[in-house]
Structure 1
Amino acid sequence: MRDASLNSSSAVASGDAALDDPSLVALRSGNTELRVAPQIGGSIAAYFEATEAGPVHWLRPATRAALDARNPLQMASFPLFPYCNRIRDARFDFDGQSIDLSGDGNAFAHALHGNAWRRAWRVGARSATSVELHLEHTPDAAIAGDWPFAYQAQQTIELVGDVLRVTLTARNLADRPMPFGMGHHPYYPRTADTVVTAAVDAMWHADLDVLPTHLGAHPAVEALRHGMPADAFDLDNNFTGWKREAVIAWTDERRKVTLSADATFGQMVVFAPASEALLCVEPVSNTTDCFNSPADARENVGGAVLAPGETITGVLHWTPARY
Structure 2
Amino acid sequence: MSAIELGQARLTFLPQVGGAVASFTVGGRDVLRAAASDTVDALAAASFPLVPFCNRIPHGRFVFDGREVVLPPNLPGHPHALHGQGWRAAWAVERAEDGEALLSYEHPSDVWPWAYRAEQRFVLKERGFRAELTVINTGEAAMPAGLGFHPYFPRRPGETLTAANDGVWLIDTDVLPTVHHPGPWEADWTAGALVEGHGLIDHCYTGWDQRAVLRAPGQPDTVITASPECRWLHVYVPPGADFLCVEPCASRPNPFGDGDTGMVVLQPGERRSIWMEIATA
1:201/1:221 contact within 8 Å kept: no
Which letter maps to 1:278?
Answer: F
In structure 2, C-alpha distance between the alignment counterparts of 1:212 and 1:302, rounded to whole Å: 15
Instruction: Write the deviation string for residues 120-141 of structure 1: whole angstroms up to 9, x where unpaired.
Output: 111112313111001110024x
User: Which structure has more strand as a fraction of its residues?
Assistant: 2
1:205 has 2:205 as partner? no
Q: Does 1:309 align with 2:274?
A: no
Residues 168-187 of structure 1: matches in 2 within 5 Å?
Answer: 168-187=133-152
What is the percentage of aligned positions where both structures have the same residue? 35
Question: 1:246 aligned to 195, 209, 212, which one?
Answer: 212
Which residue number in structure 2 is paired with residue 278 of structure 1? 243
Hey, what does 2:34 align to over in structure 1?
61
Question: Aligned partner of 1:44: which letter?
Answer: V
Residue 121 of structure 1: aligned partner: 91
SS of 1:117's equivalent in the other structure is helix
Distance in 1 of aligned mates of 2:106 and 2:273: 16
Q: How does 1:150-189 map to 2 (within 5 A)?
A: 150-189=115-154
CA distance in 2, matches of 1:267, 1:241: 7
User: d(CA) in 1 for partners of 2:47 and 2:152?
Assistant: 6
1:90 touches 1:100 (CA, 8 Å); kept in 2? yes
What amino acid does structure 1 have at the position aligned with 2:280? Answer: P
1:192–1:230 contact (8 Å) kept in structure 2: no
Q: Which amino acid aligns with 1:204?
A: W
Contact 1:60–1:75 (Cα < 8 Å) also in 2: yes
Structure 2 runs not aligned, ≥5 long: none
Find the counterpart in structure 1 of residue 22 from structure 2.
Answer: 45
- State how 1:1-323 maps to structure 2 within 5 Å: 24-50=1-27, 55-64=28-37, 68-102=38-72, 106-107=75-76, 108-140=78-110, 146-217=111-182, 219-220=184-185, 223-233=188-198, 234-251=200-217, 253-291=218-256, 293-294=257-258, 297-298=259-260, 301-321=261-281
Aligned length: 279
The unaligned stretches of length 5 or more in structure 1 are: 1-23, 141-145
Provide the rounded CA distance (Å) in 2 between the counterparts of 1:139 and 1:71: 23
- Residues 131-185 of structure 1: per-residue CA shift (max 9 Å, x gap): 1001110024xxxxx2111001100112022221101111111211111111110
- Counterpart AA for 2:128: V
1-structure distance, mates of 2:236, 2:103: 26
**TM-score normalized with structure 2 length:** 0.95
Q: Flag as ranges the 4+ runs of structure 1 deviating above 6 A.
A: none
Instruction: Tell me how far apart the structure 2 counterparts of residues 161 and 222 of structure 1 sit (CA, whole Å).
Output: 32
CA deviation map 1:17-76 (0-9, x unaligned) = xxxxxxx112111111111111111110101123xxxx2111100013xxx241100000
Shift of 1:106: 4.7
CA deviation string 1:162-221 (max 9, x = no partner): 221101111111211111111110010013311110000010000000000010135448
CA distance in 2, matches of 1:254, 1:241: 28
Which letter does structure 2 place at the counterpart of 1:48?
T
**Which SS does the other structure have where 1:84 is aligned?**
coil
- The CA distance in 2 between the partners of 1:308 and 1:214, in whole Å, is 34
CA distance in 2, matches of 1:101, 1:228: 37
C-alpha distance after superposition, 1:240-265 (max 9, x if no partner): 100011111222x3311111111121
Secondary structure of the 1:89 match is: helix
Residue 5 of structure 1 aligns with which residue? none
